[in-house]
Structure 1
Amino acid sequence: MPQIDDLVLFTQVIEHGSFSKVAEINKITKSVVSKRISKLENELGVQLIYRTTRKLTLTEPGSVLFHRAKEINQVAQSAFDAVTGYSEALSGNIRVSVPTISGELLLAEALSDFCQSHPGLTIEMSMDNHFVDLVADNFDLVIRTGYLEDSSLIARHIFNSRWMICTSPKYIEQFGEPTTPKGLLHHNCLGYTQQSTGPFDWLFIRNSNENYTLKVSGNFASDNAAALKKAALKGNGIAYLPTCLIYDELQRGDLVEVLPKHSGKVVGIYAVYPYTKKPSKRIQALIEHIRERYMGIKERF
C-alpha cells in the first residue's frame, strides 16, 4: 500500500515541477526522489508522470491522484494549523464576508466574542448573500453556502444546514396540508431566487437516499429568505427555508413543518479563503471558532 509520505513527495514534485527542487527542500538526493516516485507508480500499477529533459507532465491517473492528494495535504495542514494557532498571540485586522441569515443569527456574536478573546485583533464583518471577490474586495475570509467553483480558493467545510418545508397553521386550515411532494403542485409555494437551480425547483428525497427535483409554482419569490418567512407566517403560502431561520417559529407553533419525511435539501456551509501553502494562524483559529459555534447549536441547523 502506498505511503502517505510518498503522496506528499509526489504533490511537491508536481507543484515545483522539479525533482531537484524537491530534493533540496526535503534534504535528500534527487535519485531518492526519483526512486520514491517510481515506487509509488509501481505500487499503483500506473504511470503518474511523463518525464522529459525539459519538463514533467502528469498522465491522466497522475492528474487524478495529484488533486486528491493535494486535498489530503490541505486538510492535514489545516488541522495542524488550527491546533498550533492557539499557542500564538493573534493580532491584526480580519475582513470577513458572511451570509445575511448566518450573520444575524450566529456569526455577528461569534466574531465579536472572538475579538474579546484576542485583544490585539479586530474584525470587520460584511453581510452579503452574493459571493464576493476575495482578492478584489480585499476579504481575508468568506463564509458561504453551496459549492466552490474557483480553484484558486480553498473551502473548508464547517457544517451542513438542513432546510424544511413549512407554512402557518392558518394556511393549512384554509387550504389543507399536502401529504406528498406532488401535492404541492396544488398549493401556492414561495420561491427562493438565490437557488442555483431556480426558485421553484425544490429538492426531495425518496427511498431513503435518492434525491430528485420537483418544479412547484407560486405567486411570490424573493432573494431574501427572511422575506419568505414573513410571507409564510402571514399564511400566504408554503416555503422551503433553512431550519436555523425558522427554529423559534417552529417551537412556538407559528410555523409547522410540512412533508418532513420528503424534504431532502441540505446545504454545506464553508469557510473560503485564498489558496496559500500555510494560511495565517488567525484565519485558522477563527475558522475553528466559527465551526465550534455551529456545533454548539447544531439542533437549530
Structure 2
Amino acid sequence: MKADDLILFSSVVELGNFSLVAEKNNLTNSVVSKRIARLEKELGVQLLYRTTRKLTLTEAGKALLQGAKNVKQATQEAFDSVAGYGESLNGHIKMSVPTISGELLLAEAVAEFCQMHPGLTVDMSLDNRFVDPIGEGYDLVIRTGLLEDSSLIARHIIDSQWVVCTAASYIARAGAPMRPEDLVNHNCLQYVYQSTGASDWEFKGPSGNYLLKVSGSFSSDNAVALRKATLSGYGIAYLPRCLVHHDLEDGSLIALFPQLVGKKLGVYAVYPFTRQPPNKIRLLIEHIRDRYLEIGHYFS
C-alpha cells in the first residue's frame, strides 16, 4: 500500500469527485480511478459507492478515512517543517531574550544563524523584563515563564529547573541548613525577577508545593551578580540551574536539598499571533531550540 494512494483517497472524499482531484494533482480522471481501485484491491474491501452524481463512503471507507487524513496531515507537516531551508532569508529581526540565556547560548546561536543567512540581520536585546512584543515592535521574544496573552503565540522550548546553592566557605562559617525551613535563619541572596516575590522560595512538600519566606542582606535583578556573590561565600541563592551548572559540576557551589526544590519554569519562544509566521522567524526558533536541547542537561 502506498501512502500517496491514501492521501489521494482522502482528497477524493474531501473534494467529492474524481475530476477535481485529478485537476488539483495534475492527473487524469482514469488515473485517479485506477489508483482508488488499486487501494481497494490491496485492502480487499470497497471504499466508495460510485454513481454519476456523487461518491459515498462505505463502512470500510469511513473506517479508513481518519487514518488517511492523518497520513495526509503528517506528510504536509513534514514538508512544512523544512519549507524555507533551501531559500535565502532576508530582512531584519528584532528580538528580546533573557540575560542568562543570551549570555549562555543565544548570542552565539543567533550570530551563527546570521552567518548561515547572509541576507538577514538580527537586533538582539538582553532584558529580563516581560517586554510587549507588539507594542515595542519585537518580532520574537524568548522568555522564561509563559505570557498569558491571546494576541501572542508561545512555543515551548525547554523546562528550566532552579536550584538552591551556596559555597563551602559559607557553610563553614554559618553551618548547613538541613531542611528548607532552616533557611529562615540564613542569609538568602534574592533574585528580583518577573512578578514572583524574590523572598518567596518554592519547595516540594507532602501536600504539594509551598512557598517559604526568606530574607537576606543582598538582592539583585541580575542573576550573574548573585552567582558571583554566592561563589564568594556571602550567602545562599535560589537560581536557574543552567546558570550554575559548571559551578555545581566542579564543586565551586553545593546544591542544597535538590530533590525538594519546586521551581521549574518553561522557556518559550513568543511572537505576535499570525496564522503562519514568516520563514525567518520559524527557522530561527528551530535553530534556537536545537541549541537549547544540545545543552539540555544544563537545565534539568
Give the TM-score of the pair, scaled to structure 2: 0.71
Is 1:296 the counterpart of 2:283? The answer is: no
- Structure 2: distance between partners of 1:263 and 1:136: 36
- Structure 1: distance between partners of 2:260 and 2:113: 38
Shift of 1:205: 1.1
1:223 match:
221
- Structure 2: distance between partners of 1:139 and 1:242: 25
Is 1:123 the counterpart of 2:112? The answer is: no
SS in 1 for 2:92: strand
Indicate how the Cα distance of structure 1 residues 85 and 206 shifts in structure 2: closer, same or farther if over 3 A, else same: farther
Deviations 1:35-59 (A, max 9, x none): xxxxxxxxxxxxxxxxxxxxxxxxx
2:233 match:
235
SS in 2 for 1:138: coil
2:106 match:
107
- Structure 2: distance between partners of 1:256 and 1:78: 45
Residue correspondences, number: 225
1:240 corresponds to which letter in structure 2? Answer: Y
Shift of 1:79: 7.8
Shift of 1:81: 4.3
SS in 1 for 2:258: coil
Q: 287-296 vs 248-257, which deviates more? A: 248-257
The correspondence of residues 205-224 of structure 1 with structure 2, limited to 5 A, is: 205-207=204-206, 210-224=208-222
Deviations 1:23-42 (A, max 9, x none): xxxxxxxxxxxxxxxxxxxx
Runs of 4+ in 1 over 6 A off after TM superposition: 76-80
Structure 2's unaligned 5+ residue stretches are 1-74
Structure 1's unaligned 5+ residue stretches are 1-75
1:185 corresponds to which letter in structure 2? Answer: V
Is 1:161 the counterpart of 2:165? The answer is: no
2:193 match:
194
- Structure 2: distance between partners of 1:261 and 1:277: 41
1:239 corresponds to which letter in structure 2? Answer: A
Shift of 1:78: 8.6
The correspondence of residues 1-150 of structure 1 with structure 2, limited to 5 A, is: 81-150=80-149
Indicate how the Cα distance of structure 1 residues 128 and 78 shifts in structure 2: closer, same or farther if over 3 A, else same: farther
- Structure 1: distance between partners of 2:78 and 2:176: 47
1:277 match:
275
Indicate how the Cα distance of structure 1 residues 236 and 150 shifts in structure 2: closer, same or farther if over 3 A, else same: same
Shift of 1:101: 0.8
- Structure 1: distance between partners of 2:216 and 2:250: 26
- Structure 2: distance between partners of 1:297 and 1:213: 29
The correspondence of residues 249-288 of structure 1 with structure 2, limited to 5 A, is: 249-288=247-286
Q: CA RMSD of the aligned region, Å?
A: 1.9
SS in 1 for 2:293: helix
| Greater C-alpha Rg | 2
Give the TM-score of the pair, scaled to structure 1: 0.71
2:111 corresponds to which letter in structure 1? Answer: S
Q: 247-256 vs 288-297, which deviates more? A: 247-256
